[in-house]
């Protein structure tokens, strides 16, 4: 029986030799990391790899312009390899688990090896023949994992927030604002402590939610500015060892030209390497919004509860059958999804908080778990907010008659009488109305506390929702 031996190449590092699949663009350090950490099956997100490749390309050009990498032909091969990574053509070559050794050295070397081997192939050389194009000496020139990894973290987070999260939040705010306008004259009873309060417009409820999203977005815009300060050029500990003068400035200029992110150098490269506060700032801003999303989702679930034995003031779009046993049942499925995603974001914030305080001395080595949780949180939250806006909020309708019935039947209308007949007398009327199932109006008229004209003016439900506007 004929046997076939898989085609392999031999690569060496300071620990010895390993067989690498001949078809692989990754090398020995990537393979070691893959074998060492069979943890989750999760891989580093494509946007992080893309951001890292932008950084590698910027470093390549900076080295060339500064004269420390003069070989223009080799620079061209490495640049083309970086471009292919940026375009996602080599995505399957990034095989290191997200839970890996600290600082992200495994991911950095995965990038270096893939870029080097693709550049070797482009030059007509053999993969693994690092004498002409080396992962360490050429692709990683003037760099360390310790300054490139946190820089790539910042770039990828900025790209994710600006390209995905901000547009999704804008969609959600617009969806709420649209309903605010649609329901601006839809009368309902407000509730506090889950008890009847005073009349309001349904549009005001949706307007509040639009404002909540808008204000959280503004807070996030402030927080993400922290990510624009880079420690690139700090090398291993922040001193800039083995980094040519002017390198940092050129890298940042190139990145800004490529990505339009308003990046700048940190005033203290040691701080940029030690502190993960910018990432904590951003995830905290996202978490704060996630908390309100859970609250808003709960509000909408309450308002749509029923349809016969709940509030049933609004109708949610039906997106799927709600039960495997109860025919015809429809659940608030999108809102349930949004709450679960928000809870996952809160969990990510907890992980990042723990990692932020876990660094020692000149480096916080917990960066890989921060990178994963931050980008994962941004991705799922962006997707959830987009679905929430389009598949739920945009399709909500109002049950006007039911809301008007609740508003007219509420004993809390007595609040408007208090300035005229006093708090205690108003409380007695409210108590009697609840006990007798009669309206406030009928009891006041029966007791001859006011004329019908006076009562009509005071108990004008629409006027109650805009008292100061009417006064003006």
Beta strands in 358-466 (DSSP E): 397-398
Beta strands in 195-293 (DSSP E): 195-201, 229-230, 264-265
Nearest to 401 by CA among 393, 390, 409, 412: 409
Query: Is the torsion defined by CA of 264, 267, 269, 272 positive or negative?
Result: negative
Among 23, 40, 185, 323, the one annotated catalytic: 323
DSSP SS3 for 356: helix
Tally of CA atoms within 13 A in the half-sphere of 389 that contains its CB: 22
Tell me how far CA of residue 10 lies from CA of 6, 18, 75, in angstroms: 13, 6, 26
Catalytic residue flag (residue 323): yes
Beta strands in 68-126 (DSSP E): none
Helices within 66-129 (DSSP H only): 72-86, 105-123
The whole-angstrom separation of Cα 201 and Cα 188 is 6
Tell me how far CA of residue 46 lies from CA of 42, 152, 247, 263, 369, in angstroms: 12, 12, 26, 21, 15
Residues 379, 160 contacting (CB under 8 angstroms): yes
Nearest to 438 by CA among 464, 404, 414, 463: 414
Nearest to 58 by CA among 233, 269, 229: 233
The whole-angstrom separation of Cα 460 and Cα 452 is 12
Which residues are identified as catalytic? 323
């Amino acid at each position: 029986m004929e046997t076939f031996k898989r085609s392999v190449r031999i690569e060496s590092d300071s620990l010895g030799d390993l067989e690498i699949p001949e078809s692989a663009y990754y090398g020995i350090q990537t393979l070691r990391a893959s074998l060492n950490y069979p943890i989750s099956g999760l891989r580093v997100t494509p946007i992080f790899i893309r951001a890292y490749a932008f950084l590698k390309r910027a470093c390549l050009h900076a080295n060339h312009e500064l004269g420390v990498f003069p070989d223009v032909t080799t620079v061209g091969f490495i640049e083309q390899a970086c471009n292919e990574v940026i375009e996602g053509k080599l995505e399957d070559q990034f095989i290191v688990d997200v839970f890996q050794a600290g600082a992200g050295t495994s991911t950095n070397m995965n990038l270096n090896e893939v870029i080097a081997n693709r550049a070797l192939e482009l030059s007509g050389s053999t993969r693994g023949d690092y004498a002409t194009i080396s992962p360490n000496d050429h692709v990683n020139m003037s760099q360390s994992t310790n300054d490139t990894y946190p820089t790539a973290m910042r770039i990828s987070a900025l790209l994710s927030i600006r390209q995905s999260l901000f547009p999704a939040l804008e969609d959600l705010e617009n969806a709420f604002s649209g309903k605010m306008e649609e329901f601006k004259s839809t009368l309902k009873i407000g509730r506090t402590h889950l008890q009847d309060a005073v009349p309001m417009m349904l549009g005001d409820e949706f307007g509040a939610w639009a404002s909540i999203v808008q204000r959280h977005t503004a807070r996030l815009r402030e927080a993400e500015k922290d990510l624009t300060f880079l420690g690139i050029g700090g090398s291993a500990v922040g001193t800039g060892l083995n980094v040519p003068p002017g390198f940092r400035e050129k890298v940042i200029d190139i990145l800004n030209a490529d990505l339009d992110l308003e990046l700048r150098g940190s005033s203290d490269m040691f701080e940029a390497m030690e502190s993960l506060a910018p990432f904590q700032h951003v995830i905290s801003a996202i978490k704060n919004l996630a908390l309100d999303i859970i609250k808003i989702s709960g509000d909408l679930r309450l308002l749509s509860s029923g349809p016969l034995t709940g509030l049933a003031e609004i109708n949610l779009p039906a997106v799927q059958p709600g039960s495997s046993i109860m025919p015809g049942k429809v659940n608030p499925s999108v809102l349930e999804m949004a709450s679960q995603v928000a809870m996952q974001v809160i969990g990510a914030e907890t992980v990042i908080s723990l990692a932020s305080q876990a660094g020692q001395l000149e480096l916080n080595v917990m960066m890989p778990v921060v990178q994963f949780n931050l980008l994962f949180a941004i991705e799922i939250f962006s997707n959830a907010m987009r679905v929430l806006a389009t598949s739920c909020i945009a399709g909500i309708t109002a049950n006007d008659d039911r809301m008007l019935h609740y508003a007219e039947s509420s004993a809390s209308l007595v609040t408007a009488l208090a300035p005229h007949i006093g708090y205690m007398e108003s409380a007695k009327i409210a108590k009697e109305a609840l006990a007798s199932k009669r309206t406030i109006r009928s009891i006041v008229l029966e007791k001859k506390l006011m004329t019908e004209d006076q009562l009509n003016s005071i108990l004008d439900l629409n006027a109650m929702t805009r008292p100061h506007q009417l006064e003006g």
